[in-house]
Structure 1
């Protein structure tokens, strides 16, 4: 199938030919003929990077009345970055349709300038939900004549809390002839929206819903929580040509890891919710032009990012939601290129990998964390390859060759190579000279359980990562704290963990086992962090209750009464 065979206008064919678009992707081939009718509602389920913008952008350009200078088509998407990307692509497709205007409206930019652009007369508006609603309430945009509404990355918009905004927008486009919904996944909320606002939609699925992109190699490394950062460094160093995104759970993790890697000489920056729009644009600009080799981001901050050529996605920690993993990994392996999605996991997170494999119909490959020698060897050969492939055809090098020859006349080729290697790899060689093995090795059956500090319940504890290896070094490194908070205060283990960490500003690696009862809890914590934990919580209030926390052994923390065990 070619684009000509889809019934597309000759002027659009001319533009796609010049862009190198000859054969449509699967979603384009199935969507464009349906959308060109202009009267059918449509649901397209396909992974990111499969050509969805062209699938709806080309039909919109063909259906628009170029002579009518008012908004006729509305494209709603989750983020500023995606908004600008859609406009950029549609501008390329409409090269030979100069009378059609496309305007982007999004938050973080001057609303006055955007209102001015709208008043000039535009046929296609590409918008983020918040800014669009702002314009509607200011009566700066009239959606009465909108014929076509496109919801792009609908699942992302719902994940970001835009459900009410989407419904408000659909309610304010009463004369639309068709609604086109594009999404990578189909959660129940999207199904509800489609049933309420769409009539007998044509539904096209490319691949399986939630199915991972087949051009992505899914890999994982097993380590302890204590070695997670060092494992990340090994992975980065073992892939010297990496151009990727590292995903973290929290903005604090993103900022801290970014600062640590920057201090150690890596070209990296963080993308999180505390950045202003100007700071965000600066970071994204540096990442796109590859001034930054790595971007570290939270899921919320990274939504809508579409950057070509990403080689790796690294999950510093696995997300709880399988759909979030699908979106993360979908940043690589785009446009037919191969990509790698890496997960750094603790042994107790293996169930999450199995869940992703089952739902995404994908396979994770376990790899050993590279040794220090492996990293140095990989870096060395990468540098040698760069040295041999360097372009020396440009520049006035010949002028300096005689001086270089004279300077190195008494130095052998072997010594020159050694000096080059020393200059380039001194940092790596020193850092990895006595590096330890970060891999988690299975213990022999006979040893299993020997290091468990408390066999009763220890295998069910998912919140004390790193404790067993800590105890195995001597067993005296933990204090036991008592606190008068328990499950009757509305806590479950993960929420209680997050509460005490937020209150104390400590990291979860300092914690051992947490025993929760109805009214009280006992926390095992690194002795060096115990006083900070007590200072942070003891005497504070929680929902009108005064918190009492002390050392369970020396500070009066009572033993559990009968029935609380």
Structure 2
């Protein structure tokens, strides 16, 4: 059996990870650690989320550092604040028995002044989000000239969020690095281009198949009409009374609307989207981690970097626009060897997209029947009785009340008690589902034939939403001017997120973004999407200033640039 000791991990780290319960290396750790401990070789590690990547790069980097040199020697770049904090916390746990090494996390949404003061006190490892790191570089608050190791974690996520230019800027500012370690769940062309440009004959390790799904995840789908999507979601939640999961929506408007509807109907649920302040976001995540709420509804942008243990279900209220995003959604469950379920609610016209995702994750999805009202009531009833029978009755605190209870129920039969418990506990479910309709879409040969025709014929126009932007590069974009730029505190990724949140457009509706100090130009799909973008932003206020957005080719953009 392979051990961490046989991989070359030193004693202090071995003692710390042993206390954390690390016994045997995961496949990515087993293959990465010996290579990374050499310290001079560029490395690409392809593995799904939840496979132990943090220890795969964290243990080697901690071992390679010179504790006597109190300056940044390693830089770990990740896409979100949550992942940044998680990595820093993990490294602190790994080095608990190793003296003299300091880790500093720098990220947006927190005091930059305090982070600068912490950097000045001296540190060895900086864990950073791209935007905050670039801010620190431009303020000359951090010196990257002595960085030996650059680690890009969740590289595909960073590119999906528009961080490509930021990553290249950071790599250009680490001129004396000895190696780059790149970890990713998928390997899109953009990452391959970055690796070819900045890495020298990297050693590449793939754990499982690229883009493949976690073997512990059961992929399921429910087919219904669009009008029944919300009712189907309710049925799924009610049919899984012990659920602890994340529901993904495409837009923040959907996330908020569904949350409000479910809260009105008595569900423990909260939303996570771009309109929340960082304090509100932290509060929601704290409640979810503590399991004070069973369900979290989130957009893909808002959920990036979330790492919560024990999630049983991921529910795709709608399939993602970008099929590769499905891998990241489903990867929130089935972690650390546990089983998980990733289920999707689809309409008949969306089945071709589901087949595309099946090919990407290399897994066949199971078609599930939407539970009937009786199925839901039966499942809820037996869940309650199981909880009742498994209740801990070893405490003596209520012994004094037993005689009074026995006297109270002396004339009531056991069957009648059970009936009363059922009526008290399940009256809401029984009334709601008494006349519940069948929400399933039944397939027959004619349906399958028409969908096959749709896939081969008119369905080709929407064969891949993620490819729409590429097809539009021939001239179907409209170039818009907006009087917001880097001076307003934006960098490309944060600006992209801002305009998408404001307009509720899909990311693939956008083309090139050119940012200057005072102004920016955005390519948007011509027609309804461009009009929607203008309507959403033009005339709104940003930090006390009126936003102006219009068609750049009308002359307004050029005129305003000179102002």
Provide TM-score, normalisation by structure 2. Answer: 0.80
Q: Compared with structure 1, are the counterparts of its residues 289 and 400 closer, same or farther at alpha carbon in structure 2 (3 Å cutoff)?
A: same
Equivalent-residue separation in structure 2 for 1:358 and 1:42 (angstroms): 27
Hey, what does 2:341 align to over in structure 1?
340
Are 1:320 and 1:352, in contact at CA under 8 Å, matched by a contact in 2? no
Equivalent-residue separation in structure 1 for 2:93 and 2:235 (angstroms): 41
The SS at the match of 1:322 is coil
1:222 aligned onto 2:223: yes
Q: Compared with structure 1, are the counterparts of its residues 334 and 398 closer, same or farther at alpha carbon in structure 2 (3 Å cutoff)?
A: same
1:86-105 superposed matches below 5 A: 86-105=87-106
The C-alpha deviation readout for 1:103-161, integer Å capped at 9, x for no partner, is 11110011111112111111011010111111111111111111111000000001001
1:155-166 superposed matches below 5 A: 155-166=156-167
Q: Compared with structure 1, are the counterparts of its residues 400 and 216 closer, same or farther at alpha carbon in structure 2 (3 Å cutoff)?
A: same
Equivalent-residue separation in structure 2 for 1:256 and 1:134 (angstroms): 35
Q: Compared with structure 1, are the counterparts of its residues 407 and 357 closer, same or farther at alpha carbon in structure 2 (3 Å cutoff)?
A: same
What are the ranges of 5 or more consecutive residues in structure 1 without an aligned counterpart?
A: 450-454, 464-487, 493-501, 506-518, 522-540, 545-565
Alpha-carbon shift at residue 491 of structure 1 (Å)? 8.8
Alpha-carbon shift at residue 360 of structure 1 (Å)? 1.8
Are 2:67 and 2:101, in contact at CA under 8 Å, matched by a contact in 1? yes
Are 1:211 and 1:360, in contact at CA under 8 Å, matched by a contact in 2? yes
1:254 aligned onto 2:255: yes
The SS at the match of 2:181 is strand
1:29-40 superposed matches below 5 A: 29-40=30-41
Q: Which runs of 4+ in 1 moved over 6 A?
A: 502-505, 541-544
Hey, what does 2:509 align to over in structure 1?
none
Alpha-carbon shift at residue 65 of structure 1 (Å)? 0.7
Equivalent-residue separation in structure 1 for 2:352 and 2:419 (angstroms): 47
Hey, what does 2:415 align to over in structure 1?
414
1:542-557 superposed matches below 5 A: none
Equivalent-residue separation in structure 1 for 2:527 and 2:358 (angstroms): 38
What are the ranges of 5 or more consecutive residues in structure 2 without an aligned counterpart?
A: 462-473, 479-500, 505-525, 529-548, 553-563
Alpha-carbon shift at residue 264 of structure 1 (Å)? 0.6
CA-based RMSD:
2.9
Q: Compared with structure 1, are the counterparts of its residues 12 and 364 closer, same or farther at alpha carbon in structure 2 (3 Å cutoff)?
A: same
Give the length in aligned residue pairs.
Answer: 474
Equivalent-residue separation in structure 2 for 1:359 and 1:113 (angstroms): 43
The SS at the match of 2:421 is helix
Name the stretch that deviates more: 266-275 or 436-445.
436-445
Q: Compared with structure 1, are the counterparts of its residues 61 and 442 closer, same or farther at alpha carbon in structure 2 (3 Å cutoff)?
A: closer
Hey, what does 2:56 align to over in structure 1?
55
The SS at the match of 1:400 is helix
The C-alpha deviation readout for 1:160-217, integer Å capped at 9, x for no partner, is 0111111111111111111100000011111111111111110101011111111111
Provide TM-score, normalisation by structure 1. Answer: 0.80
The SS at the match of 1:301 is helix
The C-alpha deviation readout for 1:452-478, integer Å capped at 9, x for no partner, is xxx99xx94899xxxxxxxxxxxxxxx
Equivalent-residue separation in structure 2 for 1:520 and 1:319 (angstroms): 23
Equivalent-residue separation in structure 1 for 2:551 and 2:110 (angstroms): 40
Alpha-carbon shift at residue 445 of structure 1 (Å)? 5.6
Equivalent-residue separation in structure 1 for 2:18 and 2:191 (angstroms): 35
Equivalent-residue separation in structure 1 for 2:372 and 2:161 (angstroms): 40
Name the stretch that deviates more: 304-313 or 354-363.
354-363
